């Protein structure tokens, strides 16, 4: 029994810990248990569930407070096990490890955890400090990743660290709710942290002099750099998937992170913070590709105003599966999509889902595609630091006044800097709006469109307006006094949720606002074209009832089903005669070229290339491509003429973004 008790010195240190400190720790644990319990209660969990969580907190407190010690061997064993426990706790917040990860992926993740632990052990000389840092860091990352996936259906990616400011500005509009599983795992982290405090082992006292011990620890930290560098270098290998089970296709980050594990996937993605040259790339070849294209001049007798509205999260969820509503949530826009006069309409394929709005802007304004950039990356923040080639400079050359609009903070997604580099004459953010009526917490589309009309009325030159709305931004669960949902989805086999109903009700508000805008412009004597499209579909939790109703698995989709998640409605409407088209399928990178042709503006050499390519590959996005027969393909499946077009497109895009 003696080996399991503290020495007299240990007992003295325990007696020095005052009753007040013990009481304080007990209060902390009690509050933690109450907070977890309340969170679970309001999410529909039962009283036994709450009691289990409270019991975990109380037992953890008792273990920490009681004056007992563990045998040094037991301490060492627990210390060795805890980094592995941290790995399983983090991964279990979003998936079942053994169902999604192979053993080599598990082992590669554990290497990260143990390197992390050893580094802080050498720095501090204490296993308690090292384990506390590891466990607390892992718990925070795990919870953050859980909420990020919940809100945007994608995990935390390296380039998200560049957009923390943008995320912070909208974080207070989300509803942070946890599942019982996540509550259990958080309690598990707390238990591990407490257990680490009972298993403290100090760095061996090789010398009585602290300076010498410190130098030894410093030397070990330096030595640890070598295996750490080898580890990262191994994960950076482009052919790593050939000899491991790791997936490096960057197809869908959510799948990749489940397959590879969080930290391995995060490190693998970090290599794409810098883009490598495409295969077969040379600056001379890229120039020759452009020189082969024909630049055309404007044929318009009168340059029309062009208003581009990228409507926040606007989509038609009926493309995902059949369901009915108490009334149509987009009757006016649907009438435009069904073949209205002077209207071109159809499905637009974007490259993002549930978030990362700026990437849809990027594809429209530049003609470039996210297909050749890392999945989840944000060109506005990562790559457009020196210059940003876009259609804006071409519009100015034609004599247009150019305005970017967004009724929210100017700093979001680095827009103020990027818009300036693109050449916009002015950028109107929330502080510049005269019409600020809100729906929920955001400027309504109705007020936003009134601002657009003011700019058109005040402009003497033909106006090019690029307008990114805000009304429909998530989340969709918080009630507001100024928002009354009017649309109710009806299901035979699945209960509708308030998220889908609220979302569809917002679509109806947008539909009414679009009706107002086009009615006003119909009476104008100025030729005007309105381009309207959504930037992406909503998060998985909004549309999941549709999948359930139709017997589909939202977490196991075919390529065709994944492409349906990328579809948003679009239309090009004019208040004068243009040739009508309907039921088109194109991707966002082609849309500005299509508008230039409709308006008779002429095409740049790059737009001429895109126009020809769209005849062969009408859809190219981050998910893959769709051929002229409507068949979906992964990019890596391309052969023959299709592969040639894609390869040349990637070369031209790299040249324009990084080398021109």
- Domain-wise residue ranges, the chain: 1-69, 71-272, 287-659
pLDDT of 445 reads 96
Q: What's the Cα-to-Cα distance from 70 to each of 22, 61, 481, rounded to whole Å?
A: 20, 17, 58
Q: What is the pLDDT of residues 247-299, one digit of tens each?
A: 765 546 677 788 888 988 888 877 777 788 898 899 999 999 999 999 998 88
Q: Determine the number of helices (DSSP H) and then strands (DSSP E) in the chain.
A: 25, 15
**What does the pLDDT read at residue 167?**
58
Q: Read off the DSSP letter of residue 276.
A: P
What pLDDT digit, counting tens, does each position of 386-425 carry? 778 999 999 999 999 999 999 998 877 878 888 998 999 9
Are 596 and 607 in contact by the 8 Å Cβ rule? The answer is yes
Asked whether residue 532 carries a pLDDT value surpassing 60, the answer given is yes
CA separation for the pair 105, 265 (Å, rounded): 10
Q: How far is CA 340 from CA 10, 329, 516, 581, in A?
A: 84, 18, 16, 9
Residue 530's DSSP bridge partners are 307, 573
Cis before 94? omega within 30: no
Q: Contact, 350 vs 566, CB < 8 A?
A: yes
pLDDT digits (tens, 9 = 90+) for 108-151: 999 999 999 999 888 888 888 889 899 989 988 888 888 877 77
Per cent of the chain over pLDDT 70 is 84
Q: CATH topology for 287-659?
A: Alkaline Phosphatase, subunit A (3.40.720)
Q: What are phi and psi of 574, to 5 degrees?
A: -130, 150
Tokens read off for 96:
């079942």
Which tokens hold the place of 314? 């606007």
Quote the pLDDT of residue 9: 45
- Structure tokens given for 285: 């070849």
Residue 62: its H or E element:
helix 47-65
CA distance 344 to 580: 5
Q: Is 18 exposed, middle or buried (0-12, 13-18, 19+ CB in 10 A)?
A: exposed
Contact 606, 652 (CB under 8 A): yes
pLDDT tens digit sequence for 12-56: 444 444 555 555 555 555 555 555 555 555 444 556 655 665 666
More confident of the two residues 99 and 282? 282
Pick from 352, 309, 361, 302: which is nearest to 333 by CA? 309
349-379 core/surface letters (b: 16 or more CB in 10 A; e: else)? bbbbbbbbbbbbbbbbbbbbbbbbbbbbbbb
């Amino acid at each position: 029994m003696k080996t399991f008790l503290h020495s007299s010195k240990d007992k003295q240190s325990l007696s020095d810990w005052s009753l007040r400190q013990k009481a304080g720790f007990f209060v902390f644990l009690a509050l933690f248990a109450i907070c977890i319990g309340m969170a679970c209660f309001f999410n529909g969990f039962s009283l036994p569930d709450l009691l289990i969580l409270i019991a975990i907190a109380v037992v953890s407190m008792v273990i920490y407070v009681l004056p007992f010690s563990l045998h040094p061997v037991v301490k060492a064993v627990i210390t060795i096990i805890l980094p592995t426990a941290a790995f399983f706790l983090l991964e279990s917040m979003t998936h079942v490890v053994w169902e999604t990860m192979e053993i080599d992926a598990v082992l590669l993740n554990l290497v990260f955890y143990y390197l992390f632990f050893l580094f802080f052990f050498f720095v501090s000389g204490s296993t308690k400090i090292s384990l506390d840092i590891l466990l607390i860091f892992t718990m925070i990352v795990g919870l953050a990743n859980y909420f990020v996936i919940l809100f945007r259906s994608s995990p935390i990616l390296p380039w998200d660290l560049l957009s923390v400011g943008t995320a912070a500005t909208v974080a207070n509009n989300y509803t942070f709710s946890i599942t019982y599983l996540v509550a259990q795992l958080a309690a598990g982290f707390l238990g591990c942290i407490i257990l680490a405090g009972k298993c403290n082992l100090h760095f061996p006292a090789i010398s009585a002099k602290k300076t010498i011990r410190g130098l030894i620890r410093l030397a070990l930290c330096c030595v640890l750099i070598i295996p750490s560098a080898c580890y990262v270098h191994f994960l950076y290998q482009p052919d790593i998937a050939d000899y491991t089970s790791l997936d490096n296709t960057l197809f869908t980050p959510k799948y990749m992170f489940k397959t590879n594990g969080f930290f391995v996937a995060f490190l693998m993605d970090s290599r794409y913070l810098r883009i490598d040259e495409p295969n077969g790339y040379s600056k001379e070849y890229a120039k020759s590709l452009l020189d082969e294209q024909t630049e055309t001049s404007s044929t318009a007798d009168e340059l029309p105003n062009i208003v581009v509205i990228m409507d926040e999260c606007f989509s038609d969820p009926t493309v995902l599966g059949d369901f009915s509503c108490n009334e149509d949530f987009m009757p006016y826009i649907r009438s435009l999509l069904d073949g209205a006069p002077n209207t071109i309409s159809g499905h637009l394929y974007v490259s993002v889902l549930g978030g990362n709005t700026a990437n849809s802007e990027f594809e429209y304004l530049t003609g470039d595609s996210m297909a050749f950039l890392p999945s989840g990356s944000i060109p506005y923040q990562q790559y457009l630091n020196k210059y940003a080639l876009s259609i804006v400079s071409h519009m100015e050359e034609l004599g247009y006044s150019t305005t970017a609009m967004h009724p929210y903070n100017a700093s979001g997604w680095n827009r103020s800097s990027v818009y300036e580099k693109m050449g916009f004459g002015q950028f109107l953010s929330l502080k510049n709006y005269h019409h600020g009526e809100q729906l929920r917490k955001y400027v309504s589309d109705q007020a936003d469109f009134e601002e657009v009309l003011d700019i058109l009325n005040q402009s003497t030159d033909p106006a090019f307006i690029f307008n990114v709305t805000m009304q429909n931004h998530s989340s969709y669960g918080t009630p507001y006094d100024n928002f009354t949902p009017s649309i109710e989805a009806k299901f035979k086999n699945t209960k509708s949720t308030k998220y889908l109903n609220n979302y569809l009700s917002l679509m109806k508000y947008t539909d009414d606002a679009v009706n107002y805008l086009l009615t006003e412009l119909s009476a104008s004597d100025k030729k005007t074209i309105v381009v309207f499209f959504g930037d992406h579909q909503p998060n998985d939790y909004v549309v999941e009832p549709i999948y359930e109703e139709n017997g589909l698995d939202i977490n196991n989709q075919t390529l065709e089903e994944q492409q349906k998640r990328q579809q948003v409605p679009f239309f090009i409407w004019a208040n004068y005669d243009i040739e009508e088209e309907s039921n088109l399928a194109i991707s966002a990178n082609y849309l500005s070229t299509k508008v230039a042709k409709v308006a008779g503006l002429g095409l740049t050499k790059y737009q001429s290339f895109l126009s020809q390519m769209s005849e062969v590959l009408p859809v190219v996005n981050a998910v893959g491509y769709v051929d002229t027969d409507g068949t979906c393909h992964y990019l890596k499946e391309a052969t023959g003429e299709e592969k040639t077009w894609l390869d040349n497109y990637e070369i031209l895009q790299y040249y324009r973004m990084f080398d021109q």
